[in-house]
């Protein structure tokens, strides 16, 4: 059976070619090799455009997982820059190298046996006292965290302060890659936040009340109704649900309080 190839629409082809020409290219260097990529791409998308297939170190692509830590240098600039590859857009002639993982000491511990005593952290991470307060860690943080201040808080035994200062840490490890004292700051902060959440913050009374209500079966009937509902009904319920306003205060409650 013979087949005939359909001819392309000349008008559509011309529009496509014009769009391709309109995309201005900019030169970048990835692992030392020069590529030309469209302006406006993130480093991650530029690497894929250049032919890299990312099966590790790409993570969430939304700036929250910390898997795509990247260092780069601009032409004529002595300073080494840091960024997340999924967030930073390319700049002309930038030299790029990804650091999706940086080997760092991670202490092993049985969290159930830990207390909120500062000595617990000191014992697990004694190297924190090698910090020379150079502040290179803070300069390397793509999240804008005052990393050195958080380490200082830990050294002073202020676990709560360290947990609060490091709240936005995404475990990218770029602070560790620039540390003269070879500290694993992000692992220390993770431990501080765990201790803070489990041992220091007062238990939420409303959470305990909600758990009690769930265990007593308060919501079993509603869940059964949802399980029996058809797809169209579920869609309607979802689309017509009462949504909390963006400007609502902490005391906001829905009009229908059956599920509270």
Q: What is the pLDDT of residue 100?
A: 74
Q: Which of 1-10, 53-62, 143-152, 161-170 has the lowest mean pLDDT?
A: 1-10
Whole-angstrom distance, CA of residue 91 vs CA of residue 77: 13
> Has residue 16 got a pLDDT over 70?
no
Domain that holds residue 88: 23-98
Contact residues for 56 (Cβ-Cβ < 8 A; gap 6+):
67, 100
DSSP 199: I
Residue 25 burial (CB count, 10 A): 12
> Has residue 166 got a pLDDT over 70?
yes
Task: Kindly state whether residues 83 and 116 are assigned to the same domain.
Answer: no
Q: What is the pLDDT of residue 14?
A: 47
Q: Does any domain span residue 58?
A: yes
Q: Model confidence over 75-97: pLDDT tens digits?
A: 999 999 999 999 999 999 999 99
Q: What is the pLDDT of residue 28?
A: 96
Q: What's 69's domain CATH number?
A: 3.10.20.30
Residue 106 burial (CB count, 10 A): 14
β-bridge pairing 33-38 and 80-84: unpaired
Q: What's 145's domain CATH number?
A: 1.10.1060.10
Q: Does any domain span residue 182?
A: yes
Task: Kindly state whether residues 193 and 115 are assigned to the same domain.
Answer: yes
Over residues 110-138, the mean pLDDT reads 95
Q: Which of 9-13, 49-53, 183-187, 255-259 has the lowest mean pLDDT?
A: 9-13
b/e map 174-186, b = 16+ CB within 10 Å: bbbbbbebebbbb
Distance of CA 142 to the CA centre of its chain: 10
Task: Kindly state whether residues 182 and 123 are assigned to the same domain.
Answer: yes
b/e map 201-211, b = 16+ CB within 10 Å: eeeeeeeeeee
Q: What is the pLDDT of residue 249?
A: 87
Residue 232 burial (CB count, 10 A): 8
Q: How far is CA 24 from CA 17, 21, 33, 81, in A?
A: 13, 7, 20, 24
Which of the four pLDDT bands, split at 50, 70 and 90, describes residue 127?
Answer: very high
Q: What is the pTM of this model?
A: 0.74
Task: Kindly state whether residues 30 and 60 are assigned to the same domain.
Answer: yes
């Amino acid at each position: 059976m013979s087949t005939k190839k359909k001819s392309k629409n000349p008008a559509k082809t011309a529009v496509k070619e014009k769009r391709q020409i309109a995309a201005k290219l900019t030169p970048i260097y990835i692992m030392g090799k020069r590529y030309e990529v469209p302006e406006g791409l993130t480093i991650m998308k530029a690497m894929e455009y250049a032919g890299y297939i990312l099966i590790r170190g790409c993570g969430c692509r939304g700036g929250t997982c910390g898997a795509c830590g990247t260092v780069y240098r601009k032409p004529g600039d002595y300073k080494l820059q840091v960024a997340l590859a999924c967030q930073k857009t390319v700049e002309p002639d930038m030299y790029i190298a990804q650091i999706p993982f940086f080997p760092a000491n991670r202490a092993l511990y049985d969290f159930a046996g830990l207390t909120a005593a500062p000595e617990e952290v000191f014992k697990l991470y004694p190297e924190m006292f090698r910090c020379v307060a150079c502040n290179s860690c803070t300069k390397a943080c793509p999240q804008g965290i005052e990393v050195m201040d958080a380490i200082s808080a830990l050294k002073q035994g202020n676990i709560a302060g360290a947990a609060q200062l490091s709240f936005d840490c995404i475990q990218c490890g770029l602070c560790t890659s620039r540390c003269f004292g070879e500290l694993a700051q992000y692992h220390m902060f993770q431990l501080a936040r765990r201790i803070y959440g489990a041992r220091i913050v007062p238990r939420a009374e409303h959470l305990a009340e909600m758990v009690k209500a769930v265990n007593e079966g308060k919501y079993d009937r509603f869940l059964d109704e949802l399980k029996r509902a058809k797809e169209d009904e579920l869609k309607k319920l979802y689309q017509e649900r009462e949504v909390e306003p963006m400007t609502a205060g902490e005391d906001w409650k829905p009009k229908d309080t059956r599920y509270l």
